[in-house]
Chain A
Amino acid sequence: MIALQFILSGMLAAATPFLLAALGELVSERTGVLNLGVEGVMALGAAIAFIIVYHGGGHVLAFAGAGLAGLLLSLLFAFATLGLQANQVAAGLAIGILGQGLSALFGKTYESLTVKGLPKLAIPGLSDLPVFGGLFVQDSVVWLSLAATLAIWATFAFTKTGLLLRAVGENPKAAHSIGYPVNAIRVAAVAFGGLMSGFAGAYAATVYTPLWADGMIAGRGWIALALVVFGTWLTARIFLGACLFGAVSLAGLAAQAGGVELPSQLLASLPYLVTIIVLGVISSNRRLLKLNGVASLGEPFKP
Chain B
Amino acid sequence: MTAPLLSLRGISKRYGEIRANQAVDLDVAPRSIHAILGENGAGKSTLMKLIYGVETPDSGEMLWEGAPLTLASPAAARRQGIGMVFQHFSLFETLTVIENIRLVVPGRTAALTARIGELGAEFGLEVDPYAHVHELSVGERQRVEIIRCLMTDPKLLILDEPTSVLPPQSVAKLFDTLQRLRDGGVSVLFISHKLEEIRAICDRATILRAGKVTGHIIPREHDAHDLARMMIGHDMPEPPPMTPAQPGETMLELIGLTYTPDDPFGMPLRDLALSLKAGEILGIAGISGNGQAELSELISGEIRLPFDDREQVQMMGEPAGHLGPADRRKLGFAFVPEDRLGRGAVPGMSLARNSLLTAHPQGLVRHGLIALAEAADFTRRCIADHDVRTSGVEAEAGGLSGGNLQKFIVGREMMLAPKLFFLAQPTWGVDIGAATTIRQKLVALRNEGVAILVISEEIDELFDICDRIQVLSHGRLSPSLETRRTRPEDIGRYMIGAGAAT
Measuring CB to CB, which residues of chain A are less than 8 angstroms from any residue of chain B? 160, 163-164, 166-167, 170-171, 173-180, 286-287, 290-292
Contacts and interface: CB of A to CB of B under 8 A. Distances in A.
Contacts of B75: 179
Contacts, number: 54
Contacts of B195: none
A160 B73 contact: no
A87 to B, nearest CB: 19
7 contacts: A160-B102, A167-B92, A167-B103, A173-B90, A177-B84, A178-B74, A178-B103
Give chain B's interface secondary structure class.
loop
B451 to A, nearest CB: 35
Interface string B67-99: 000000111001000001010011111110001
B263 A290 contact: yes
B262 to A, nearest CB: 5
Contact of A170 (B78, B86, B94, B262): B94
Nearest to B74: A179
Interface of B: 54, 73-75, 78, 84, 86, 89-95, 99, 102-104, 262-265
Nearest to A176: B74
B95 A179 contact: no
Given A160-B103, A174-B89, A290-B264, 18 more contacts: A160-B102, A163-B95, A163-B103, A166-B94, A167-B92, A167-B103, A170-B92, A170-B94, A175-B92, A175-B103, A177-B74, A177-B86, A179-B78, A286-B263, A287-B262, A290-B263, A291-B94, A291-B264
A164 B104 CA distance: 10
Give chain A's interface secondary structure class.
helix
- Interface-central residue, B78, B94, B264, B265, by most chain A CB under 10 Å: B94
B320 to A, nearest CB: 26
Given A163-B95, A291-B94, A179 B73 contact: yes
Nearest to A174: B90
A250 B449 CA distance: 74
A186 B232 CA distance: 45
Given A177-B54, A177-B86, A287-B264, A166 B92 contact: yes
Nearest to B262: A286
Contacts of B95: 163, 166-167, 170
A160 B102 CA distance: 7
A36 to B, nearest CB: 24
B90 A163 contact: no
B94 A163 contact: no
Contacts of A174: 89-92
- Interface-central residue, A173, A178, A180, by most chain B CB under 10 Å: A178
A170 B265 CA distance: 14
A77 to B, nearest CB: 26
A146 to B, nearest CB: 27
Contacts of A179: 73-75, 78, 104
Contacts of A176: 74
A168 to B, nearest CB: 9
A296 to B, nearest CB: 11
